[in-house]
Chain A
Amino acid sequence: MSEFYRNYLTVAIFMGIAFGLLAAVLSLGKLVRPVRPQAEKYVSYESGVDPVGDGWAQTPIRYYVFALLFVMFDVEAVFIFPWATRLEAYGWFGAIEMIVFIVLLALGLLYAWRKKVLQWI
C-alpha cells in the first residue's frame, strides 16, 4: 500500500471509531435506563411549549427575498474584511478591484429595488 492510500486509512479508522463509539454509548444507555412510557413523553418537543395543530401549515415565504439580499451583503462582508487588513499590500489595484465589486453589488441592490423586491406586501 502506498503512502497516499495509507493517509486514507486514518480516515477509515476514524470513521470506524466514530460509529463504534456511537453504538457503544447508545447500547449502554439502553441497558441502564428505566423504561416508563407516558403519553406526554411522546409529544414533539418544541421549547417546552405544547405543539398545537398540524405540522403541514402554510407559511409566508416572502422572507426568502430578504434571505437572498442578506446573502448578497454577507458575501460582500466576507470579501471586504480580509481585504481591508491587507489593503496596503494590494495597493491601487486592490482598491479599484474592490470598488468594481461593491459597485456591481450596489447595482444588484438597485435592480432589486426597482423590481419592487424591497416592498412588504
Chain B
Amino acid sequence: MMLAEVERLATPQVAWSVLLPVLILLGGAVVLMVAGALTPRRTKYPWHAGFTVAVAVGAMVSTVFLWWRVRDDGPISAVADAVVVDGLSLYLGFAILCSVVLAALLTHGYLQRERLEGADAYVLMLLSAAGGLVMAGANDLLVLFLGLEILSIAVYVLAGIHVRRARSGEAALKYFVLGAFSSAFFLYGIAMVYGATGSTNFTKIGAFLATNVLTNNVMLLAGFALLLVGLGFKVAAVPFHAWTPDVYEGSPSPIVAYMASGVKVAGFAGLIRVFTYTFSTYATDWQPMIYALAVATLVVGSLFAVSQTNVKRMLAYSSISHAGFILLGIQAASTQGTRAALFYLATYTFMAAGSFGVVTIVGRTGDNAHDLSAYNGLAKRSPLLAFAFLVFLLGQAGVPFTSGFLAKFGVIGAAVEARSFWLALIAMLTSVISAFVYLRIVLAMYDRDTEVTGPKLRVPLGARAAIIIALVVTIGVGLVPEPLAHVTRTAVALTHPQPAPAAAPIEVSAGS
C-alpha cells in the first residue's frame, strides 16, 4: 500500500461529541440554505423560522447534556487544547442560543410584513450563533478571532437584509467598515500578546504569566489595550460605541434584538475569557483600563439616551449603558464579579430581545415608526403590548421584582466588594439617569390624553411567543432568582481559573 510508506501527519484528536452544539448549528445552517434555495421563497407554513428554532433548541439540548457531563467530570479541553468546554462556555453559549430562538421568532413576522420572505436571514443567524459559540468556547486567541469573524461577518450581512430600505444598507456598510477596523486592532493585539508570552493558547499564556516576571511588559500591556479595543467594539463600550446608535436604528428591528443580546453576550464571553481568566495574574494592570472604560460607557450611555427622540436610538444608548454595568462585574476581577456579569448577561438577553420585539411591532410596515410619538397612547391601542414593554423597560431600569434589579444589584455589589466605591457610585447615579429615559417611554405609552389613531397593531404569532417568553423570564427571574443564581455559581465553579503566581518567580526579559 502506498499509504503506509509515507510518514503520516499527526492530526489532533477531535472529540466531536463536545463540539456538538456548534456542529448542530452549522449543519442546520447548511441544510436550511440548500432547502431554502430549492423551495419557493414564500411558503405556506413558516418552516424557515420553525426549522431555525428547532436547530437552536437542538443545540440547547446538547449544551445541557454537555453541562451535566462537565458537572460530573470537570471541564473538557478538545482539539489540541484549542477549545474548552466548561461552565463559562456552556452558560454563555446557552444564552446566545436563547437570543437566536427569540430573534428567529420575531424575524418571521417581520419578513412577512416587509415582503422579504426567505431562508437567508435564518441561515445567517444560525451561522452567526455558531461563531458566538466558538468564541465562548475558545481557548486560543486565534480560535477566538475565528469565532469573532464568523459571528461578525454574518451580522454585517444581517444588518443589510432589508434590501429595499436604504437605511438598512447604510447600517450594514457602517457596521462592516468599523467592524473590520476593530478586527484589525484585535489581530494586532493577538500579535502583541504572542510576542510577549510566546503562545496564543490561553492555558499556556496563563501558565507563562504566572511563572515568569516580565522585565519589560510594554508589549504585553499594548496587547491588552488592543484586545480591549477589538472586544470593546463588539460589546459597544465607550469610546468604541459610535456605530451603535446608527446601526441599531438602521438595521431591521428583529436583527437588532439579536445584535443587542447574542452579539453582546459573545463579545463579553471573549472579554471574560481573556481578561478575567487568562490575564488574571495581571489584574492590577488591566483593571484600571476596564475601570475607565466602564465609567465612560455608563456616563455616555445614560446621558446621550436622554437627548434622543427615536426609541430605537434610546434603546441603543441604553444597551451601551448596560455594557457599562457588565464591565463593572469584569472590573471586579473576582468570582463574585464574574458571577454577577454572567447573571446580568442572561437577564439582559431576554430584556433586550423583548424590548426590540415590541419595537419591531410598533415600527409598522417599513420599519420606520420609531419616534417617541409613535408610542403615544400605546396602552389604549394594545394594552398587553404596552404592558410587556413596561416590564422590559422597568427591568432595564432595575426596578425590584424584575430580573434587572438583581442583575444591577449583583454587579454593583461586586464593585463594592472589590473596593471600587466611586465606580459603584457612578453606576448608581447613571442608573437613575437611565431610569428617566425609560420612564419617558412609559409615560408616552400610558398618556391618557392622546387620541387613539391609526390601525390596530397586528402581533404575529411568533413575535407573540417571543415576547411572552421574554416577559415570563424577566418577571420569573425577578421573583425567583435562586435557580439562575445557582447556575451562575456552578458555571463559575466549573471554569478553571488560571494558575496563581508561583512563590519564587523567575526573571526573564521581554521580547528578543
Contact = CB atoms under 8 A, between A and B. Distances in A.
B8 A89 contact: yes
A86 B9 CA distance: 9
A60 interface: no
A4 B512 CA distance: 5
Contacts of A107: 30, 33-34
A91 B511 contact: no
A2 B511 contact: yes
B472 interface: no
A115 B123 CA distance: 15
A4 B34 CA distance: 52
Given A89-B7, A90-B9, A91-B9, A114 B512 contact: no
A3 B512 contact: yes
| Residue among B2, B33, B216 with the highest chain A CB neighbour number at 10 A | B33
Interface string B494-512: 0000000000000001111
A40 B11 CA distance: 65
A48 B511 CA distance: 55
B3 A91 contact: yes
B163 interface: no
Contacts of A86: 9
A91 B216 CA distance: 45
Main secondary structure of the interface of B (DSSP, over half): loop
B11 A4 contact: no
Given A3-B512, A111-B33, A93 B11 contact: yes
Interface residues of A, number: 16
B511 A4 contact: yes
A114 B39 CA distance: 9
B50 to A, nearest CB: 21
Interface in A93-121: 93-94, 104, 107, 110-111, 114-115
A89 B512 CA distance: 35
B37 A104 contact: no
A88 interface: yes
B6 A104 contact: no
Contacts of A89: 6-9
Contacts of A115: 37
Interface string A51-88: 00000000000000000000000000000000000101
B37 A114 contact: yes
B42 to A, nearest CB: 15
Contacts of A90: 9, 11
Contact of B3 (A2, A3, A88, A111): A88
Nearest to A115: B37
Interface string B1-27: 011011111010000000000000000
B3 A114 contact: no
Nearest to A92: B3
Contacts of A88: 2-3, 5-6
B7 A110 contact: no
A110 B36 CA distance: 11
Contacts of B3: 88, 91
Interface in A1-19: 2-4
A91 B8 contact: yes
A59 B44 CA distance: 40
Given A2-B511, A2-B512, A104 B30 contact: yes
B160 to A, nearest CB: 16
Given A3-B512, A4-B511, A114 B30 contact: no
Contact of A111 (B2, B7, B34, B511): B34
Contacts of A3: 511-512
Nearest to B11: A93
A110 B511 CA distance: 50
Nearest to B14: A93
A75 to B, nearest CB: 15
A84 B462 CA distance: 49
A111 B33 CA distance: 7
Contact of A110 (B2, B6, B34, B509): B34
| Residue among A104, A111, A115 with the highest chain B CB neighbour number at 10 A | A111
A90 B6 CA distance: 10
Contacts of A93: 11
A87 to B, nearest CB: 9
Given A2-B511, A107-B33, A114 B9 contact: no
A111 to B, nearest CB: 5
Nearest to A5: B511
A93 B9 CA distance: 10
Contacts of B512: 2-4
B37 A110 contact: yes
Contacts of A94: 9, 11
Contacts of B38: 114
Nearest to A6: B512
Interface string B201-225: 0000000000000001000000000
A107 B509 CA distance: 51
Nearest to A113: B37
Nearest to B33: A111
A9 B388 CA distance: 63
A89 B6 CA distance: 6
A67 B508 CA distance: 51
A93 B11 CA distance: 8
A9 B511 CA distance: 15
A89 B216 CA distance: 42
B41 to A, nearest CB: 10
Nearest to B39: A114
Closest A-B pairs by Cβ, 4 of them: A114-B37, A4-B511, A88-B6, A89-B9
8 contacts: A3-B511, A3-B512, A89-B6, A91-B8, A93-B11, A107-B30, A114-B37, A114-B38
Given A88-B2, A110-B37, 7 more contacts: A2-B512, A3-B512, A86-B9, A90-B11, A111-B33, A111-B37, A115-B37
